[in-house]
Structure 1
Amino acid sequence: MKKKAIYKSAVLFGAVLFLCCVALESNAWARAGRGGSAGSRGSRSFSSPSMPSRPDTSSPMSPSSPGPGMSSPQRRLDSPQAPVSPGGGLMRSPFMQGLAGGLAGGLLGSLLFGGSGHAAPSGSQSGGGIGFLDIILIGALLYFGWRFFARRRREASQAAAYYGGSGPDPEGAFAMPRQMDASPYGRDSDLDSYSGGARGNPLDVIGRTDPAFDEERFKETVQDIFFRVQAGWMNRSLEGIENLLTQEMIDYFKGEFEAMRQKGQINRLENIAVRKVEPSEAWQEMGKDYVTVLFTANLLDYVVDDKTGGVLEGDKLNPVKFQEFWTFCREIGEPAWRLAGINQVDEPSTRH
């Protein structure tokens, strides 16, 4: 009986810790993509994007030039530091939050009311053994506990790198692994590709087949797409941005906009300032150019009720600083770039 009491106390503590992790993990702000990963990176969809190999100081993007319909940023880089937003990832999904809560609630119920609600090993009537549901929950606890603390550790590293502080070296213990030929399908194409590395410019891969390609014009183009997509997200509409998205991203945003309308919510995005636009990967496959870009930006990000205007989530006074990978693609040689996917740091794409 003593061992059984110790076991129940340990699992009860773990369940409470799990619920706390879920609550904290789901507290990320929304913005375009809901702070998660979506879309496709072609054959690299199953690998996390590589961090840029070195700071891009050749042509920093000016924060004083916001995209169409966006208000001007009002904060400097030396303003009080706010935490880097980690993004929501899997646990932003209402289904996953409900499932997690249901599992943890079921475990608490079984502990408080005698354990009759879960399966026990065959022939055991005392309920003293470890049931199948317990095994699942213990595994879930371990996974989400690890994910929560790993994300917090990455935040500290990214914040130090963002502000040029004395934190961990981005190329040190917390450096992102280089995704060289990480595709499960083998090489991306018969052409060269670039992913990380200490030397070279990833956009050189595109320039080899397009002599007219201009890096500065490309950065301006993708920054404009970034601002316009954020405006479309706030308006819950594809009007004016549909031609900037792949079909997969169009379908994704349609679903998100419909969900926001049904909930009666509007995600306000204000004072957007892009601090850095850093190409990190470039490759060609299936007749298309792909470029993954790391955006470093800050903005006011909060959710309001579309009838009352009351704030439901987020903060309308303190800006959120974040980093996201956006992947753009086009037909080789064509001028028009489209948004193909959004990734959080250290997260692969989520297929839709």
Structure 2
Amino acid sequence: MDLNIVTFIFFALAVVVFIQLRNVLGRRTGNERRPFDPYAKSKAEPAAVEKTAALPPAAKSAPFAAIDAYAPAGSELNEDLRAIGRADGSFAPQEFLTGAKAAYEMILTAFARGRRGDLQNLLAKNIYENFVTALEQRSATGETVKFSFIGAERAEIVAAELEKGRARLTVSFKGEIISATYDKAGQLIDGDEQNIVVLRDRWTFARELASKSPDWLLVATEDEE
């Protein structure tokens, strides 16, 4: 009889503890996490957003910006250069002049030293033939030339033309050279090895814009003085 009373007392205490725990643990506060679902798609935690100053979108460069920077907008030269730019989107006056100055030096040097191979790649056919004739005459008389290219002080596009897909650009050059020509006896007949000569030339270069070759060829020459 005493054992039954003790058992009953422990059972009653267990019921009371269970009810208290349920009241505490079973109450929802709204802050509970949802039960873990191993098949649910995980969501990455949002990255911390670093506050930075908003940058304006990069402005698209004007299609004729390089041309307008070289020749004033509205000028005749600008309009003629724009016509070439419309036909050849890669055309830029300053880049052309860089190549023209290099060609100026190469052509003068090749002619002075009789290098026909170098000239052939830089000159139009008729100009090349004229240069070759002059070289042959010089060779026939036994003349030799001592030559040094000092530099091109100035190279400016002074005229531009586009006709039937063929672009022509005329460039005014001011260059400095040292040149001395000797006869077959070694006597000085022209120029001076000690003095710098200033050249003022106007050369015209041409290119077929539909051609795969990017090369401009010399098609005309004249002295400015």
Length-normalised TM-score, structure 1: 0.40
1:258 aligns with 2:136: yes
Look up the equivalent residue of 1:298 and give its one-letter code.
E
2:168 is equivalent to residue 303 of structure 1? no
Report the counterpart of residue 200 of structure 2 in structure 1: 323
One-letter identity of the residue aligned with 1:243: N
Distance verdict in 2 for CA 1:236–1:199, change over 3 Å: closer
Task: Give the corresponding residue for 1:345.
Answer: 224
Let me know the Cα RMSD of the aligned residues. 2.2
The 1:201/1:295 distance shift into structure 2, 3 A limit, reads farther
Q: Distance in 1 between matches of 2:79 and 2:187?
A: 46
Q: Residues 332, 199 of structure 1: CA spacing in aligned structure 2 closer, same or farther, 3 A cutoff?
A: closer
User: Does structure 1 conserve the Cα–Cα contact (< 8 Å) formed by 2:80 and 2:162?
Assistant: no
Larger relative strand fraction: 2
- Counterpart mapping for 1:198-213 below 5 A: 200=78, 203-213=81-91
Larger Rg: 2
AA at the equivalent of 1:326: W
Assess, with a 3 A threshold, how the Cα gap between structure 1 residues 202 and 317 changes in structure 2: closer, same or farther. Answer: farther
**What TM-score does the superposition give when structure 2 sets the normalisation length?**
0.61
Match of 1:242 in 2: 120
**Which region of structure 1 is more displaced relative to structure 2, 330-339 or 273-282?**
330-339
Structure 1 regions of 5+ residues with no counterpart?
1-57, 60-196, 347-352
Distance 1:298 1:339 in 2: 20
Q: Does 1:277 align with 2:155?
A: yes
- Quote the Cα distance in structure 2 between the aligned partners of 1:310 and 1:271: 22
Q: 1:198 to 1:336 in 2, by over 3 A?
A: closer
SS of the residue 1:244 aligns to: coil
Q: Does the 8 Å contact 1:234/1:269 carry over to 2?
A: yes
| Percent of aligned pairs with the same amino acid | 24
1:130-160 CA-partner distances (Å, limit 9, x unpaired): xxxxxxxxxxxxxxxxxxxxxxxxxxxxxxx
Q: How many residues were matched structurally? A: 151
d(CA) in 2 for partners of 1:201 and 1:225? 25
Aligned ranges 1:186-225 → 2 under 5 Å: 200=78, 203-225=81-103
